[in-house]
Amino acid sequence: MKKLSFTNIFSFCLMVIGLFAVQTVNAQAPAGEAQIEVEYTGGSFNGENSWLLWDATAGAEVLCDDAASVPGVYTANVTQGNTIELYAWETFGDNWNGATIEVRYNEDGSVN
């Protein structure tokens, strides 16, 4: 029978605890604001796609990706109650070629 050292057992226990201790942390928006996230998932020709998130109430750009539409999650805070509009386009005229866009509005750190 092989001897187990205290260090090996302790290391193993820490690894197991670490696997179960992973949590997702959401930032909170200040009072009167809400967090908005735009997730862009790339397609075949990302350079043809662009999008803009516009605060129509304030008349201001919230988020945009008009250069090469890099896949990822983009986050900003907006005033609660304002009208937010998403504009999306592509330059070649053959659709987004598998790319998708999702908008999430979070008032309290959880997805609504």
The position carrying tokens 């986050």 is 75
- pLDDT, one tens digit per residue, over 60-109 is 999 988 666 688 899 999 999 999 999 988 888 888 888 899 999 887 65
Helix (H) or strand (E) holding 104: strand 100-106
Confirm whether pTM is higher than 0.85: no
